[in-house]
Protein backbone atom coordinates (compact mmCIF):
# COMPACT_ATOMS: atom_id res chain seq x y z
CA UNK A 1 0.00 0.00 0.00
CA UNK A 2 2.76 2.33 0.99
CA UNK A 3 4.68 1.40 -2.18
CA UNK A 4 1.65 2.23 -4.30
CA UNK A 5 1.42 5.68 -2.71
CA UNK A 6 5.08 6.43 -3.38
CA UNK A 7 4.94 5.27 -6.97
CA UNK A 8 1.72 7.20 -7.53
CA UNK A 9 3.29 10.38 -6.20
CA UNK A 10 6.36 9.82 -8.37
CA UNK A 11 4.25 9.34 -11.49
CA UNK A 12 2.21 12.45 -10.75
CA UNK A 13 5.41 14.47 -10.24
CA UNK A 14 6.91 13.16 -13.49
CA UNK A 15 3.79 14.05 -15.44
CA UNK A 16 3.72 17.54 -13.90
CA UNK A 17 7.39 18.15 -14.74
CA UNK A 18 7.03 17.00 -18.32
CA UNK A 19 4.02 19.25 -18.78
CA UNK A 20 5.97 22.20 -17.38
CA UNK A 21 8.92 21.48 -19.73
CA UNK A 22 6.62 21.27 -22.71
CA UNK A 23 5.08 24.61 -21.86
CA UNK A 24 8.48 26.29 -21.44
CA UNK A 25 9.81 24.91 -24.72
CA UNK A 26 6.75 26.09 -26.53
CA UNK A 27 7.03 29.66 -25.26
CA UNK A 28 10.72 30.23 -25.79
CA UNK A 29 12.33 30.72 -29.19
CA UNK A 30 15.47 32.07 -30.80
CA UNK A 31 16.75 33.68 -33.97
CA UNK A 32 20.30 33.52 -35.22
CA UNK A 33 23.13 35.41 -36.87
CA UNK A 34 25.54 33.45 -39.03
CA UNK A 35 28.96 34.89 -39.81
CA UNK A 36 31.56 33.68 -42.30
CA UNK A 37 34.93 35.25 -42.85
CA UNK A 38 37.52 34.43 -45.50
CA UNK A 39 40.94 35.87 -44.89
CA UNK A 40 43.08 37.53 -47.54
CA UNK A 41 46.70 36.67 -48.32
CA UNK A 42 49.76 38.63 -49.35
CA UNK A 43 52.25 37.20 -51.79
CA UNK A 44 54.84 38.98 -53.87
CA UNK A 45 56.35 36.41 -56.20
CA UNK A 46 59.31 36.43 -58.60
CA UNK A 47 57.84 35.60 -62.00
CA UNK A 48 60.94 36.18 -64.13
CA UNK A 49 64.65 36.71 -63.53
CA UNK A 50 67.99 37.32 -65.24
CA UNK A 51 71.63 37.28 -64.21
CA UNK A 52 73.75 39.56 -66.39
CA UNK A 53 77.42 40.38 -66.21
CA UNK A 54 80.13 41.63 -68.50
CA UNK A 55 81.75 39.48 -71.19
CA UNK A 56 85.00 39.67 -69.29
CA UNK A 57 83.48 38.24 -66.11
CA UNK A 58 81.67 35.56 -68.11
CA UNK A 59 85.07 34.31 -69.29
CA UNK A 60 86.22 33.19 -65.87
CA UNK A 61 83.13 32.96 -63.65
CA UNK A 62 80.07 30.74 -63.73
CA UNK A 63 76.87 32.19 -62.36
CA UNK A 64 74.02 29.80 -61.68
CA UNK A 65 70.55 30.96 -60.62
CA UNK A 66 67.72 28.81 -59.23
CA UNK A 67 64.29 30.05 -58.21
CA UNK A 68 62.38 28.29 -55.44
CA UNK A 69 59.02 26.72 -56.24
CA UNK A 70 57.11 29.36 -54.30
CA UNK A 71 58.92 32.13 -56.19
CA UNK A 72 60.12 33.77 -52.99
CA UNK A 73 63.77 32.75 -52.86
CA UNK A 74 66.43 32.98 -55.53
CA UNK A 75 69.68 31.06 -55.06
CA UNK A 76 72.75 32.37 -56.89
CA UNK A 77 75.86 30.22 -56.95
CA UNK A 78 79.02 31.87 -58.27
CA UNK A 79 82.49 30.40 -58.91
CA UNK A 80 85.93 31.88 -59.59
CA UNK A 81 85.19 35.16 -57.93
CA UNK A 82 87.87 37.79 -57.72
CA UNK A 83 88.02 41.46 -56.85
CA UNK A 84 85.86 43.61 -59.13
CA UNK A 85 83.67 40.66 -60.05
CA UNK A 86 80.05 41.77 -60.44
CA UNK A 87 76.65 40.57 -61.53
CA UNK A 88 73.35 42.31 -62.14
CA UNK A 89 70.39 40.23 -60.96
CA UNK A 90 67.13 41.31 -62.50
CA UNK A 91 63.83 40.27 -61.00
CA UNK A 92 60.26 40.81 -62.12
CA UNK A 93 57.94 40.44 -59.17
CA UNK A 94 54.18 40.37 -59.15
CA UNK A 95 51.71 40.86 -56.35
CA UNK A 96 49.85 37.56 -56.59
CA UNK A 97 48.03 38.03 -53.31
CA UNK A 98 44.60 39.46 -52.69
CA UNK A 99 45.80 42.52 -50.75
CA UNK A 100 47.87 45.57 -51.67
CA UNK A 101 51.44 44.84 -50.61
CA UNK A 102 54.51 46.98 -50.06
CA UNK A 103 57.56 46.26 -52.18
CA UNK A 104 60.58 46.38 -49.89
CA UNK A 105 64.31 45.79 -50.30
CA UNK A 106 65.09 42.06 -50.49
CA UNK A 107 67.01 40.20 -47.81
CA UNK A 108 70.43 38.71 -48.60
CA UNK A 109 71.91 35.63 -47.02
CA UNK A 110 75.54 34.77 -47.86
CA UNK A 111 76.72 31.20 -47.49
CA UNK A 112 80.50 30.81 -47.65
CA UNK A 113 83.66 31.14 -45.59
CA UNK A 114 83.26 33.28 -42.49
CA UNK A 115 83.52 36.98 -43.04
CA UNK A 116 83.41 36.77 -46.85
CA UNK A 117 80.08 38.51 -47.03
CA UNK A 118 81.76 41.66 -45.74
CA UNK A 119 83.55 41.95 -49.07
CA UNK A 120 80.37 42.03 -51.12
CA UNK A 121 78.36 45.13 -51.70
CA UNK A 122 74.83 45.25 -53.02
CA UNK A 123 72.60 47.96 -54.38
CA UNK A 124 68.99 47.70 -55.48
CA UNK A 125 67.01 49.69 -57.99
CA UNK A 126 63.23 49.47 -58.14
CA UNK A 127 60.92 50.28 -61.05
CA UNK A 128 57.17 50.29 -61.24
CA UNK A 129 54.60 49.32 -60.32
CA UNK A 130 53.34 48.29 -63.76
CA UNK A 131 49.78 47.19 -64.54
CA UNK A 132 48.99 43.48 -64.46
CA UNK A 133 48.60 43.20 -68.24
CA UNK A 134 52.06 44.66 -69.00
CA UNK A 135 54.01 42.04 -70.93
CA UNK A 136 57.67 41.39 -70.14
CA UNK A 137 58.68 42.90 -73.46
CA UNK A 138 56.89 46.11 -72.59
CA UNK A 139 58.57 46.58 -69.23
CA UNK A 140 60.85 49.51 -70.01
CA UNK A 141 63.74 48.27 -67.89
CA UNK A 142 63.49 44.58 -68.73
CA UNK A 143 63.27 43.62 -72.38
CA UNK A 144 66.56 43.72 -74.33
CA UNK A 145 68.40 45.28 -71.43
CA UNK A 146 72.18 45.22 -71.94
CA UNK A 147 74.92 45.46 -69.37
CA UNK A 148 77.38 48.28 -69.12
CA UNK A 149 79.86 49.25 -66.42
CA UNK A 150 77.43 52.03 -65.52
CA UNK A 151 74.52 49.61 -65.10
CA UNK A 152 71.79 47.97 -67.14
CA UNK A 153 71.08 49.80 -70.39
CA UNK A 154 67.88 50.12 -72.32
CA UNK A 155 67.94 49.24 -76.01
CA UNK A 156 68.35 52.97 -76.77
CA UNK A 157 71.53 53.04 -74.69
CA UNK A 158 70.22 55.10 -71.77
CA UNK A 159 70.98 53.87 -68.29
CA UNK A 160 67.94 52.42 -66.57
CA UNK A 161 68.93 53.59 -63.14
CA UNK A 162 67.75 57.13 -63.63
CA UNK A 163 64.03 56.84 -62.95
CA UNK A 164 63.82 54.34 -60.18
CA UNK A 165 61.12 54.30 -57.54
CA UNK A 166 62.68 54.02 -54.08
CA UNK A 167 61.00 51.46 -51.82
CA UNK A 168 58.84 50.86 -49.99
CA UNK A 169 55.95 51.51 -52.34
CA UNK A 170 52.58 49.78 -52.58
CA UNK A 171 51.51 47.46 -55.37
CA UNK A 172 47.95 46.39 -55.94
CA UNK A 173 47.07 42.76 -56.63
CA UNK A 174 48.33 41.80 -60.08
CA UNK A 175 50.78 44.67 -60.44
CA UNK A 176 54.41 44.02 -61.40
CA UNK A 177 57.67 45.50 -60.27
CA UNK A 178 61.19 45.28 -61.71
CA UNK A 179 64.13 45.08 -59.33
CA UNK A 180 67.76 45.26 -60.47
CA UNK A 181 70.30 44.19 -57.88
CA UNK A 182 73.97 44.98 -58.31
CA UNK A 183 76.28 42.56 -56.50
CA UNK A 184 79.93 43.49 -56.50
CA UNK A 185 83.12 41.98 -55.11
CA UNK A 186 85.30 44.58 -53.40
CA UNK A 187 88.95 45.12 -54.20
CA UNK A 188 89.95 44.21 -50.66
CA UNK A 189 88.88 40.56 -51.01
CA UNK A 190 91.48 38.56 -48.99
CA UNK A 191 93.80 36.13 -50.82
CA UNK A 192 92.44 33.11 -48.90
CA UNK A 193 89.19 33.52 -50.79
CA UNK A 194 90.85 31.80 -53.72
CA UNK A 195 89.15 28.57 -54.78
CA UNK A 196 86.13 29.14 -52.54
CA UNK A 197 82.49 29.06 -53.64
CA UNK A 198 79.94 31.52 -52.38
CA UNK A 199 76.18 30.99 -52.46
CA UNK A 200 73.93 33.97 -52.17
CA UNK A 201 70.23 33.80 -51.34
CA UNK A 202 67.95 36.68 -52.28
CA UNK A 203 64.64 36.59 -50.47
CA UNK A 204 61.67 38.74 -51.41
CA UNK A 205 60.10 40.59 -48.52
CA UNK A 206 56.46 41.59 -48.65
CA UNK A 207 54.31 43.50 -46.29
CA UNK A 208 50.64 44.37 -46.17
CA UNK A 209 49.93 47.88 -47.54
CA UNK A 210 46.42 48.53 -46.24
Partner 1 sequence: MKSKTLGLFLCTLIAMSACGIAYAQWNDVVVVKSRMSFGTLTLRFVGTPDCSDNDDATKDTGVCVCEYTDPDTTSGGYETLMVNIVNGYPGYEADCIFTLQNVGSLPDHVIGIEIVPSMGLTVGETFLDDNGNPIGWRLDDTTTGEPQLNVYVQNSEETSLVCGVVDPGTQLSGILNVVVNDGALECHAYGFEIMIIYED
CB of 21 to partner 1, least distance (A): 14
36 vs 59, beta carbon nearer partner 1: 36
Q: In this structure, what are the phi and psi dihedrals at residue 48, rounded to the nearest 5 degrees?
A: -160, 155
CB of 43 to partner 1, least distance (A): 9
C-alpha triplet 106, 136, 147: angle, nearest 5°: 65
Question: CA-CA distance, 106 to 203, in Å (whole number)?
Answer: 5
160 vs 171, beta carbon nearer partner 1: 171
3 vs 31, beta carbon nearer partner 1: 31
CB 72 within 8 A of CB 28: no
Question: CA-CA distance, 78 to 60, in Å (whole number)?
Answer: 11
CB of 78 to partner 1, least distance (A): 34
DSSP letter at 189? -
Contacts of residue 25, Cβ cutoff 8 Å, sequence gap at least 6: none
2 vs 26, beta carbon nearer partner 1: 26
CB of 92 to partner 1, least distance (A): 23
Question: CA-CA distance, 78 to 63, in Å (whole number)?
Answer: 5
CB count within 10 Å of CB 76 equals: 20
CB of 132 to partner 1, least distance (A): 16
Residues in contact with partner 1 by CB under 8 A are 27-42, 98-100, 172, 208, 210
35 vs 149, beta carbon nearer partner 1: 35
Amino acid sequence: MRLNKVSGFFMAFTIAMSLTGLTYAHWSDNIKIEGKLEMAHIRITIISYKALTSKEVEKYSEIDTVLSEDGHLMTITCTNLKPCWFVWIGLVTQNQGSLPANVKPPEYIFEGPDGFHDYFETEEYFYGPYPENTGFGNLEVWGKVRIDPDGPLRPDGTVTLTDENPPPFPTDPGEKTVIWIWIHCEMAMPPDAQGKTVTLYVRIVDDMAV
